[in-house]
Chain A
Amino acid sequence: MKFLRDTWLIFTRQMLLVWRTPARLVIGFVQPIAYLVLFAPLLKTALAPTGAQTYADAYRVYVPGLLVVLVLLSGFFAGFQLLGELRSGVIERSRVTPVSRTALILGRAFSEVVTLMGQAVVITVVALPFGLTVHLGWLMLAYLMLALMALMACALSYAMAMLIPSPAALGPLINSISQPLSLLSGVLLPLSLAPGWLVAIAEWNPIYWTTNGTRSLFTGNPGDVSVWAGMLIVIALAALTVTWATRMFARQVR
């Protein structure tokens, strides 16, 4: 399969670049870890009304939200790197070869997803000494949901970068999409604390479902409706955005 081979080729190359620039990797989790250490301890008391008794309870609610923010926001910024590579000629050099056009973009997206999942694992591990305990099987399922969210965010960002190929215009656009999406999904504090009208709006936000799904898996409620609903939503969205991005890319780069 030429397409799979080419995707693997581009993926390994992008992973090599990630490996060679550890600074970027570290910057990626400095902020989440700061939140984890300096903000999350406040939550035991803050989350008491939702039934949180211990630090473990608080972290089971907070860590998944933090991971959603990480994959979503970092994923949304993948488009900037694509723009950079389009400008520098790195992609042009691939385009004169018969390499699969879809592989050029999918290999890149997968390397972003794997990098983000690596950061997610580090953050989870750092949270363990604070008392986070989580069922391993459900954790894996939560990671799958997060990986699909990362893929979706990445693909959406690539598509937008090709639609608006100017970094100066792309930044504000991405911010204006990501901010309401994350606020209306209860990533920082669960929306079960929110008034009814806010929840009513949030229910229209797909990220609300995936955030709740991830959280339910962390808190050990895999039977919750948000788990399968969130999973279905994120699979559909990932498929949709990946198709859009690859089409845009193939049309743009010929």
Chain B
Amino acid sequence: MIEVKGLRKSFTLGKRRKTRTVEAVRGVDLSVAEGEIFGFLGPNGAGKTTTARILCTLLEPDGGEAVIAGADLRKDPGAVRTKVGYVPQGGTTTDEVTAREELVLQARMYGIGKAEAIERAEKALAAFELTEFADRACRTYSGGQRRRVDIAMGIIHEPKVLFLDEPTTGLDPQSRAHLWDEVRRLRDTGMTVFLTTHYLEEADALCDRIAIIDHGEIVALGTPTELKHGVAGDVVTVGLNGSGPRAAELLDGHDYVRKLELGDDGLRLYVDDGTTAMAQIMRVLDAGDIHFDTVELHRPSLDDVFLIKTGRSLRDK
């Protein structure tokens, strides 16, 4: 659905002699399948928004190629426009007008006739649970409601691909969860969703695949599980009361145990898949009649992935 090769873009900042060039996107390659929620995860200034804006025809790339829903970005940006929807970071609802007016206008700007635009607005309002406030001015909406209007505007022309730039920034946890459900619902209708985020939880919970981007380059790409397993497996820590050495002896040599460490806090087992390994470990200990106090599972997070790939943590930001 989206094929990108060698995309690059740089900006010149500053005035007259004191200029410097910032390479915002430095050779991004990616491929997004139909019906996928694809996440672009990275810190602020990593090039996420620039990439999304290029793919939506808002910025002209310096180099590289992209084909979106069969349309060539450089040769036919007009065709790309009819096939993508874009929801920018800040939101674009106008205080003085109503959600219904916003939706009708947006549909009309896509060349849709008046009667059909009104009908589509009505459907979109119902789908995003906005009917109740549809005829109130946007200034009276909550942040979550406004964001839903933004997304409804982004899909009013039934695009193949929807670009969401930082969709949940500034939303409270409840609105965020609500929005995630909306995005999943769109994916379930067959829409491809490309979203940028700097929230680890969002990338992890919502995205089918993630590209981690830093300084304009993709440093890791895969499903959240693949990425996390790529850095290190899960760790199961068993708190044992004195019988550590004997437990280690019993568990050593099982094929699901990659590595085993006996420490002060108990026995640490490095495994591929923590959930199944935990059950197997408990069975072995039970069979050996070894009593244990605690069993803990630690799975690597996307932050661990980011840390290993870039040497920095996303959380510090």
A residues touching B (Cβ–Cβ < 8 Å)? 2, 6, 9, 13, 16-17, 20-21, 88-90, 92-99, 254
Contact = CB atoms under 8 A, between A and B. Distances in A.
B284 interface: no
A171 B100 CA distance: 36
Name, among A6, A17, A20, the residue most crowded by chain B CB atoms within 10 Å (CB to CB): A20
A9 B56 CA distance: 22
B42 interface: no
B57 interface: yes
A88 B108 contact: no
Contact of B57 (A17, A20, A88, A254): A254
A99 B105 CA distance: 11
B96 A20 contact: yes
Nearest to B96: A20
A169 to B, nearest CB: 12
Contacts of A97: 81, 106, 109-110, 157
A99 B90 contact: no
20 contacts: A6-B109, A9-B105, A17-B97, A20-B96, A88-B90, A88-B92, A89-B91, A93-B88, A93-B106, A93-B153, A95-B58, A96-B56, A96-B81, A96-B86, A97-B109, A97-B110, A97-B157, A98-B81, A99-B109, A254-B59
A98 B78 contact: yes
Interface in B300-314: none
Contact of B110 (A13, A16, A98, A254): A98
Given A97-B109, A98-B82, A89 B92 contact: yes
A95 B56 CA distance: 9
Contacts of A13: 105
- For the complex of A and B, the 4 pairs showing the least CB-CB separation, nearest first, are A20-B96, A97-B109, A93-B92, A99-B109
A2 B109 CA distance: 10
Given A88-B92, A96-B81, A9 B109 contact: yes
B94 interface: yes
B60 interface: yes
Contacts of B157: 97
A6 B88 CA distance: 22
Contact of B92 (A2, A6, A90): A90
Contacts of A96: 56-58, 81, 84-86
Contact of B58 (A17, A21, A98, A254): A254
A9 B108 contact: yes
B94 A94 contact: no
B192 to A, nearest CB: 16
B45 interface: no
Nearest to B150: A93
Given A89-B88, A96-B81, A96-B86, A16 B97 contact: yes
Interface string B78-122: 100110111010111010110001000110111100000000000
Given A95-B57, A96-B57, A96-B58, 18 more contacts: A2-B111, A13-B105, A16-B97, A20-B96, A20-B137, A88-B90, A89-B90, A93-B106, A97-B106, A97-B109, A98-B78, A98-B81, A98-B82, A98-B110, A99-B109, A99-B110, A254-B57, A254-B77
Nearest to A92: B88
A17 B92 contact: no
A94 to B, nearest CB: 6
Interface string B48-86: 000000001111100000000000000001100110111
Nearest to B107: A97
Given A93-B88, A254-B57, A98 B111 contact: yes
Nearest to A17: B96
A85 B187 CA distance: 32
Interface string B282-299: 000000000000000000
A161 to B, nearest CB: 18
B94 A254 contact: no
B58 A92 contact: yes
A100 to B, nearest CB: 10
B135 to A, nearest CB: 13
Name, among B85, B92, B101, the residue most crowded by chain A CB atoms within 10 Å (CB to CB): B92
Contacts of B108: 9
Nearest to A20: B96
B190 to A, nearest CB: 21
Name, among B56, B97, B108, the residue most crowded by chain A CB atoms within 10 Å (CB to CB): B108
Interface string B243-265: 00000000000000000000000
Contacts of A95: 57-58
B158 to A, nearest CB: 13
Contacts of A9: 105, 108-109
